[in-house]
Amino acid sequence: MRILATISFTFLLALMIGCTATRSGSNGIDRSAKRLATPKSTTDKPKIIALGDSLTAGFGLAEKESYPYLLQEKLKADGFDYEVVNAGVSGDTSLGGLERADWVLEQDNAKILILELGANDLLRGVPVAKMKENLSQILRKAKARNLKVLLCGMLAPPTMGPQYQRDFVAAFPDLAAEHKVEFLPFLLENVATVKDLNQADGIHPNVEGTKIMTQNIYRALNPLLTK
């Protein structure tokens, strides 16, 4: 409830509109084409797979400003020898993530999955039960490969109707409990609604906002790390 109280209706409505709009980037390029390519991997190090939408892909940012890159730098500074693979696709839904899951999770020496999907299901009004089943299938695939998992939650605005809102918000902690995975309730905590921490669209974190988002993820991820 504390987290819900920190996120304004205006931001959530903008987030719903923006996450799908970014399937085509500001330069008109269809970023969904990324799903045709295997996520870039350059080493034999143990891998953390960051599977998500535009918040993971780093929409509007340079590669070295995205959270997967910043996370790897932070891990390295703290003595953790991981490679973080950016498997984010702007505009992706839980179904899109499920369709990519097998080949994304087949990365050599994959050890951890960070799963961040759901905002675009919200935009499309996908039934919560369907979104939940898609995410559950991804989690089962990860567990079948003995991957540790951090699940990132998302919020819903009241315009979706009180029942949908309740079901959507509850879906993520329910999945975390069911599959016994680590859970981050809202990765944009302390970033959402803060003008100076977001890009001009008011939706996606800017460079400074992404640093805070990375810290949020790192704190939740820490119990899964080994040296």
The distance in angstroms from the start CA to the end CA of the chain is 35
Burial of 3 (0-12, 13-18, 19+ CB in 10 A): middle
Confidence of residue 46 (pLDDT cuts 50, 70, 90): very high
User: Does residue 8 have an active-site annotation?
Assistant: no
Beta strands at 182-184 and 83-88: parallel, antiparallel or unpaired: unpaired
* pLDDT at residue 8, rounded to an integer: 44
pLDDT digits (tens, 9 = 90+) for 120-175: 999 899 999 999 999 999 999 999 999 999 999 988 888 889 999 999 999 999 99
Mean pLDDT across 41-56:
89
> With DSSP H G I counted as helix, E B as strand and the rest as coil, what are the percentages for the chain, rounded to 5?
50, 15, 35
| Sheet with 110-116, side-by-side order of all strands | 83-88, 47-52, 110-116, 148-152, 182-184
The single residue of 66, 90, 121, 204 carrying the catalytic annotation is 204
Q: How many CA atoms lie within 13 A of 73 on its CB side?
A: 11
Average pLDDT value for residue range 49-70: 96
DSSP code for 24: B
- Say yes or no to pLDDT of 29 above 60: no
CATH number of 2-224: 3.40.50.1110
Which two structure tokens, joined as six digits, stand for 86? Answer: 């950016």
- Sort 204 into a burial class: Cβ within 10 Å, 0-12 / 13-18 / 19+: buried
Residue 6 pLDDT: 44
Show the tokens assigned to 71.
């996370």
The predicted structure's pLDDT at residue 193? 85
User: Over the chain, what is the mean pLDDT?
Assistant: 86
pLDDT of res. 158: 84
Active-site residue, from 24, 32, 54, 108 = 54
- State residue 42's pLDDT score: 62
Q: E strands along 1-153, which residues?
A: 47-52, 83-88, 110-116, 148-152
| Catalytic residue selected from 32, 136, 179, 201 | 201
Question: With 70 as the cut, is the pLDDT of residue 30 above it?
Answer: no
60, 205 contact by CB (below 8 A) = no
User: Is 179 one of the catalytic residues?
Assistant: no
